[in-house]
Structure 1
Amino acid sequence: MTAALPRVVSPEEWASAREALLRKEKEHTRAGDRLAAERRRMPMVRFAKQYELAGPDGTQSLLDLFDGRRQLIVYHFMLYPGDEVGCPGCSLLVDNMSHPAHLHARDVTLKVVAPATPPEIERYWARMGWTIPWVSAAGTDFPADCGIDGGFGVSVFLRDGDDVYRTYFTDGRGGDQFVGTLRYLDVTPFGRQEAWEEEPRGTDAPSSWWRRHDEY
């Protein structure tokens, strides 16, 4: 690490700089609140196709994935038939998934869906030590119908009785919002140490330093 350190100032100067930044942070928070409200007002599209998704407890439909709750978040994980390991970025995101009780309290179920076969997913989950619920989309149109073409993404679904609707989707940098590790790094002096950052603290390309947690 060769980046210059932050300036050393008096406690009074630090407090003034902190107050100035706090005003901008509050503006950013309010802008995020407005964006979240707009996201909630998005229209929805019906998903009526009957998919056969294979999980540890047998074959499930998209409706089954809700586990009786009204809302469902699906993370489309990059692990494909024949793969020995999953995508490092997807793995980082799953490492950051929280205890599901907090989502369940708000009527939300979180599931990870991968195109690999159940045995392949089971082996990789065992290596990573994950307990996050998963299902296999192998042999189904579900990833393609969600616009997943060799990548990752996050889909949100809403259940109205037995009818299922898709309300939201994001991929690319949209995935950053689900990775707590990145949020923590963003408040440190050296940041993510990637070349794109203002006043870059490193030369790494975005996400190029990510590893599976047992590979660092």
Structure 2
Amino acid sequence: MDKNKETRPNMKIPPIVSLQEWEAARQKLLIKEKELTHARDSMAAERRRMPWLAVEKEYEFHGPKGKKSLLDLFDGRRQLIVYRAFFEPGVFGWPDHACRGCSLGADQVGHLAHLNARDTTLVYASRAPQADIARLKKRMGWAMPWYTITDSFDADFGVDEWHGTNVFFHHNDRIFRTYFINNRGDEAMGSTWSYLDATPLGRQEKWEDSPEGYPQTPPYKWWNWHDEYAASPDPKWAKVLDQALEELNLDK
């Protein structure tokens, strides 16, 4: 017997139809879904053409190994994504938990090796001391680098009172702010694709509409198991992909 049946609302469910009717309805909706996908691709292409804002100030963070500059957070890569998570005194849940919304987002972050393979680093930043951050990460099973904000970084980049995702690029010994996502825009963050779509270089695949000179490789070919990016590409995998791409016409 369903113990929750009596507490559930009386739902007005959709019509029950045949397989043919169901498939026709799905195909009708699929047209709109593809339009949404193409609109999202177009938005990402426009984002890659956004003007950049030079970061003129020096910022200092604390990490597990001591002081770090904003440049240090790039970890040798060109792109940096910084999510400001609320974990500090005064936040509901302290000291056992970070903000519930920020924690829900952290639970969705994919394996960072895939971002790293596209010259991109993701980090979290809060005002909590490193000892508390280390304890929280261990409890929750989170692996992303997580730094302590020590100065006006959060106020300068619009994340002192609310969460948000800032994107930076390192070019010719300078750092630039390239994009900013907050409010409900952060709901989509977590997957490798959503993070790459927010960066100036994008997914770096040939099908993308990117400015001239931007790095691009064939789709699928750079994908790998997260523990084998350092290994040489498997020639058998490359052969399978070449055949598939030729059939799908995705590599042209």
State the TM-score, normalizing by the size of structure 2: 0.68
User: CA contact under 8 A between 1:55 and 1:135: conserved in structure 2?
Assistant: yes
| Aligned residue identity for 1:48 | E
8 A Cα contact 1:73 1:108, kept in partner: yes
Kept after mapping to 1: 8 A contact 2:110/2:190: no
- 2:15 matched to 1:7? yes
| 2:175 counterpart residue number | 164
| 2:60 maps to 1:48 | no
For 1:78 and 1:59, the matched residues in 2 are separated by 20
CA deviation string 1:40-94 (max 9, x = no partner):
1111111122211001121110000001000001111011246312101100111
Q: Percent identity?
A: 48
Query: Quick one: which amino acid aligns to residue 114 of structure 1?
Result: S
2:107 is the counterpart of 1:99: no
2:132 to 109, 120, 125: 120
Matches within 5 A, 1:15-34: 15-34=23-42
Superposed displacement of residue 120, structure 1: 2.1
Query: For structure 1, which segment, 157-166 or 113-122, has the greater mean C-alpha deviation from structure 2 after superposition?
Result: 113-122
- Give distance in 1, aligned partners of 2:122 and 2:28: 38
Q: Secondary structure at the match of 1:63?
A: helix
Partner SS for 2:162: coil
| 1:59 alignment partner, SS class | strand
SS in 2 for 1:74: strand
**5+ residue gaps in structure 2?**
1-7, 192-252
Q: What is residue 67 of structure 1 aligned with on the other side?
A: 75
Q: Report the Cα distance in structure 2 between the residues aligned to 1:161 and 1:76, rounded to whole angstroms.
A: 26
Partner of 2:44: 36
Matches of 1:162 and 1:113, distance apart in 2: 23
The match for 1:140 is 151
* Alpha-carbon distance in structure 2 between the residues aligned to 1:41 and 1:77: 28
Shift of 1:11: 0.8
Q: Deviations over 1:124-143 (max 9, x none)?
A: 22221211111100x31111
1:92 maps to a residue whose letter is L
CA-based RMSD: 1.4
Deviations 1:2-58 (A, max 9, x none): 323332101110111011001010111111111111111111111122211001121
In structure 1, give the amino acid aligned to 2:164. Answer: G
Q: Secondary structure at the match of 1:54?
A: strand
Amino acid corresponding to residue 107 of structure 1 in structure 2: D
Q: How far apart are the structure 2 equivalents of 1:79 and 1:153?
A: 13
Q: Shift in Å at residue 179 of structure 1?
A: 4.8
- State the partner residue of 2:99: 87
- State the 4+ residue runs in structure 1 displaced beyond 4 angstroms: none
The alpha carbon displacement at 1:166 in A equals 0.4
- Quote the Cα distance in structure 2 between the aligned partners of 1:143 and 1:113: 9
Q: Considering only CA atoms, is the larger Rg found in Structure 1 or Structure 2? A: 2
Gaps of 5+ in 1: 181-216
Q: Secondary structure of 2:62's partner?
A: strand
Determine helix, strand or coil for the equivalent of 2:177. strand
Contact between 1:115 and 1:143, CA under 8 Å: does it hold in 2?
A: no
- Give TM-score, length-normalised by structure 1: 0.79
The answer to whether structure 1 residue 149 and structure 2 residue 164 are counterparts is no
